[in-house]
Structure 1
């Protein structure tokens, strides 16, 4: 079922969005060459406890996961592009790290992700795929307006990706958000403008373009969670939770100033 929320309910979602955005900013500022992925997870867990929030990940066990996730954040490194299960790995100079984080605050969920390069060694192709996911997310948010169609969001993402020479995997994409992390509708990362459901005020969705440098094919790691590119190429992931209104969309997980 697709839910629509009142303006008062959307206002009540703001603290969750602000907390998620703040945690991601904190983690990005603290990550260094040599940081262990398990330490990132522990730090995120500490911040959750301090806020009195509830992780959306730790007991999450969808059909595509081998077992309950068991951690509070996804840490995807290099050719790991989604659902990266934190493990004993120390980040190296030049690693491309994507972190994806979702929590519930006072019963309302927010979900966001960002990618960045660790250290000083920066491959321009890594930065390019990060920049394209950010541009695709911005383009999608720009058309996430009442009266437009869901396909307009998907088409905006796909147009940026194809413009920059990437192919798009549509197995995983955006989704409805509200009292739970994953709800209807599914928001593919490619599609045709003017198709799909009409966007109405009160719809809250996570929009999350993710791309890989050399392929659109993925496989699941032996850990049962981490999704990697078939050809070993690196990928990036950008995500915001937004609310459709009578005017401009509200980016609930906007980065803090």
Structure 2
């Protein structure tokens, strides 16, 4: 459905747009694709484009991320503004991934307008996806932050935690950013120990997921509990406990790798 490409086509016939305003995603309430708008909409509403990034092709039609001027009033009967969570689970996973790519590329361009070394304006490179400072030759590429996300298990039980900074009463798997000099496996063992105080072993890679909040690459793992009592880091974890696979709390949807880890493990007993 989506084909990634960094080089825009010479012609834009049939182009599709993923539109943002003041950092929020526009959804078309009349469209089954929600966040995919036709380029004709841009012209008919006379929206002024502040920045644009070519994303690739959606069903062989060129697709662009655009940010429009904040001064434009939107028709509330047709358009809704919100963050990427507003379409999570409402659209197919490839389209959610495309919207996430759009948000990340626009944020990257906005956040690298000036060189971090000399302070002069950066320029979009025409040959590759990069921002360049010509005077000091600094090159900035879109930044991806690698993270581990792990489901710790003990027989028929799953160790799930509620994040201290997450407003919903949801329990999920443990996760953390990979530090400089660490392997993904090193990070997994360290993060589990730091966040909930237990030891793990027998790490098994599951799958990865691009997660645009704001720009992570989640590396999913399973791990077996080997010892220790649950002691939560209060700055990170509000609560953590063991749950039997038949008596789970509210957990992430299967559109997320956390939900997929949980679902895969539960299905292994059926």
TM-score normalized with structure 2 length: 0.23
- Greater C-alpha Rg: 2
**Bigger relative contact order, structure 1 or 2, given CA contacts below 8 A and separation 6+?**
1
Structure whose residues are more often helix by fraction: 1
Give TM-score, length-normalised by structure 1: 0.24
Q: Which protein has the bigger strand share?
A: 2
